[in-house]
Amino acid sequence: MKRTGAQTIWEALVAEGVDVVFGYPGGAIMPAYDALPQYPIRHVLVRHEQGAAHMADGYARASGRAGVCVATSGPGATNLVTGIATAMMDSSPIVCITGQVSSAVLGTDAFQETDITGVTLPITKHNYLVTRVEDVYPTLREAFHLARSGRPGPVLVDITKDAQQASMEFEHAVPPRRPRKAPGHPPPEERDLAAAAALIEESERPLVFAGQGVQAGEASGLLREVVEKGQLPVACTLLGLGAFPASHPLCVGMMGMHGEAWVNRAVQEADLLIAVGMRFDDRVTGNLKTYAVNARKIHIEIDPSEINKNVRVDVPLCGEAATILADLLPRIHKRERRAWLDHLQEMSHDTRARDIVAQPHADEALHAAHVMHDLWQETGGKALVVTDVGQHQMWEAQYYRHEQTRQLITSGGLGTMGFALPAALGARFARPDADVWVIAGDGGFQMTACELATCAQEGAKLNVAIINNGYLGMVRQWQEFFYSGRYVATPIRSPDFVKLAEAHGLTGLRATTRAEAREAMHRARSLPGTVVIDFRVVAEDSVYPMVPANADLRDMIRRPAPKFAED
C-alpha cells in the first residue's frame, strides 16, 4: 500500500487507539490535516494552541491514556510550550505533533520556522525532528511508548512538510520499539524491602505521603491494603488528592503550604515518613533544614533522579509504586497504633479552617469556601473537578473531599493560570459521562476564556465556576502578608461573565449569596451545554493556614477568629 507521510501520521494514531486530537491547522501541518478525514479520529478545533496542549493534558489525566495535540510550525509550535511544560512538571503523558518547514530550507529562517525541538528540549521527555517519510510512523509509535513508560511525560514529534508530502510503501506492521529502560538502577533488592519493612515495624508515629505517582501508577488499591494492615495514617499532596479516600479513617488530609495545620504538625512529629510517588516539592517541605528532622524516611519513586534530590532518605525504593507496594504488603505486620492515631484525631479538632463553612457570617457575604463546600455537597463528592491556579485552587483542595483517583485535575508543579477551562474540555472527551466542573479565578479564567467558543462549537457540557473576587487573589494575599498591603497590579477588571457566556450561545448565571450559589449549582447541572457561573465572593479573603516560603512547617499563619451572626 502506498501512503503519504501525512497519512502515516494518522495510521500511527489509529494504531495507538487515539480517537480525538486537539489542534489548530496551519501551513506546515496542512498535508496532515488534508489526510485527516480518511481516519476515524475526531479533531477538536481550539482557539489557541496553548489550549490544545492543556486539552491533551486534561484528557491524559482523566483517562490514563496519552493525549494528543497538533500545531503548525513557528508560532503554532511555540504556543504549545506552556502546556508542554505544565505536562512535564506534572508527569502527564501527551504527544505533541508539529509541522515544520521543508527540510530543504531548515536553518534558513524560512517563513514560520522555529527550532521547536531546541526550544522544548528541557521540557519534554524526548523530542524528534523527522525529515524522511519512512521515519514518520515508527517515530510516532515510539513517541507514544516513551510518553507512557516509566515516569510519564510529554514527547514532541516535529515533522517537516516534505516528509508529510512524500509517499512510501506502507505495511501495518508494528515497528520495533526501544526496550523499556530500567529506571536508572535495578529494582529494590530483598534487603531494601526488608529494611523498609523493619522501619515500619519499629515506628510508633509513621505517616504515609500519597502523591501523583500513586494515581499515575494505578496503585491506590494497594496503598489502601498496606496502610490498613499497618494502621498507617495517610497525608496527600495536592496532586495526590483522591489517591486515598478523604473519608477513610486513616486519611488526615493535605500537607504543605496550604495544607491542614494538624497535618503539618504531624509531619514534624512523625518518626517515619513513607513517601509514595511524590517528589518532596518545596511547597510540601518548607525549610529543608527544619523539615521532619526526627523522622526516618522511605521513598518509593519511579524516577531515580527524584530520590535524595531535595530530602535525604534512609531507604530508597526505586520502581513503580504498585509493584513496590505489592512487594511490601506481605512484609508488613498487622498492628495497632492507637496512641498516634488518637493524637492525630485530637489535633484535627482544631477546626478553625472549617468554621467558615459551618456557620453564617455576620455580613452574610459569600465566601469562596462556601462555594467549594456546597459544591461538594451538591455533587455528592463525585464530580470530576478541574481547577485553575490560585486561591480557589487551594480552597478546592481544602473543602472538596475527593474519594476517587483522577477526580481532581490541577496544575501543580508549574502552577499554570489558564489551565482549567481547556484541561476540563479535554477531560470531558476522556470521560463523557462525568459531571465535570471547572473552578477558576477571575484572572486565570480570562487567560484562556477564548476556549468557551470551542465548548460551544463542540456542544460540550461543562459547568464553569468563576470565583470572582476582583483581584489576582493569591498574589494579593502575598502582598497583604509580606508587602505591607501594597496591592500593585493585582486589582483586575473583568468582563460581565454572564454576558460573555451568552455571547457564545452558552448559559450564564450569577450568585452573590450562599443561597443563590446553591441554586446556581443545582440549576447548572440540569441545563444542557456549558454553563458559566459568576460567583461574586468576598474580595480580600485569604487562604489559611499558610506556611510562608522557606519557613518551618510549624510557622503557619492561621485564620483569624471569624465573626459569626448571632443565633
Domains and CATH numbers, the chain: 2-169 (3.40.50.970), 190-347 (3.40.50.1220), 354-536 (3.40.50.970)
Distance in angstroms (rounded) separating the CA atoms of residues 49 and 135: 25
Q: Report the distance separating Cα 112 and Cα 133, nearest Å.
A: 21
Task: List the catalytic residue out of 30, 112, 458, 480.
Answer: 112
* Count of other CB atoms within 10 angstroms of residue 277: 32
pLDDT, position 349 = 78
- pLDDT above 60 (res 435): yes
pLDDT for the residue 175: 58
Taking Cα atoms as reference points, which of 33, 166, 48, 169 lies closest to residue 99? 33
Model confidence band, residue 356 (pLDDT cutoffs 50, 70, 90): low
Instruction: Cell numbers for 380, please give them.
Output: 455528592
pLDDT value, residue 565: 47
Query: Residue 537 pLDDT > 50, yes or no?
Result: yes
Per the annotation, the verdict on 278 as an active-site residue is no
Band of pLDDT at residue 360, cut at 50, 70 and 90 = low
> Does the annotation count 189 as an active-site position?
no
C-alpha pair distances (Å), 65 with each of 58, 145, 302: 10, 11, 18
Q: What is the pTM of this model?
A: 0.95
Round to whole Å and give the CA distance between 431 and 55.
13
pLDDT at 567: 34
CA neighbours within 13 Å on the CB side: how many for 487?
Answer: 13
Classify burial at 132, counting beta carbons within 10 Å of its beta carbon; exposed 0-12, middle 13-18, buried 19 or more.
middle
Active-site position among 113, 125, 144, 161: 161
Active-site annotation holds for 111: yes
Q: What is the reported pLDDT for 1? A: 86
Per-residue pLDDT of 24-51, as tens digits, reads 999 999 999 999 999 999 999 999 999 9
170 belongs to the catalytic site: no
CA distances from 489 to 111, 368, 390, 470, 476 (A): 37, 22, 16, 12, 9
Q: Judge contact between 417 and 443, C-beta under 8 A.
A: yes
Question: Does 181 qualify as catalytic in the annotation?
Answer: no
Name the percent of the chain lying above pLDDT 90: 90
Q: In the prediction, which pLDDT does 177 show? A: 56
Residue 516 grid coordinates: 443563590
Instruction: Tell me if 328 sits within 8 A of 219, measured CB to CB.
Output: no
Torsion of CA 397, 398, 401, 403, to 10 degrees: 50
User: What pLDDT does residue 183 have?
Assistant: 46
Q: Between the CA of residue 555 and those of 220, 238, 265, 291, 542, what are the distances in Å?
A: 32, 20, 10, 12, 17
Of 7, 11, 16, 49, which one is the catalytic site residue? 49
Choosing from 474, 521, 546, 556, the catalytic residue is 474
Q: What is the pLDDT of residues 250-308, one digit of tens each?
A: 999 999 999 999 999 999 999 999 999 999 999 999 999 999 999 999 999 999 999 99
- What's residue 176's pLDDT? 54
Confidence of residue 562 (pLDDT cuts 50, 70, 90): low
Average pLDDT over residues 535-560: 92
Residue 55 neighbours by CB distance under 10 Å: 33
Residue 473 to residue 43: CA distance in whole angstroms: 35
pLDDT single digits (tens) 169-191: 998 655 555 554 544 557 888 99
Mean pLDDT of 480-500: 97
Instruction: Work out the average pLDDT over 315-339.
Output: 95
pLDDT tens for 368-407 read 999 999 999 999 999 999 999 999 999 999 999 999 999 9
pLDDT digits (tens, 9 = 90+) for 227-236: 999 999 999 9
**pLDDT confidence band for 203 (50 / 70 / 90):** very high
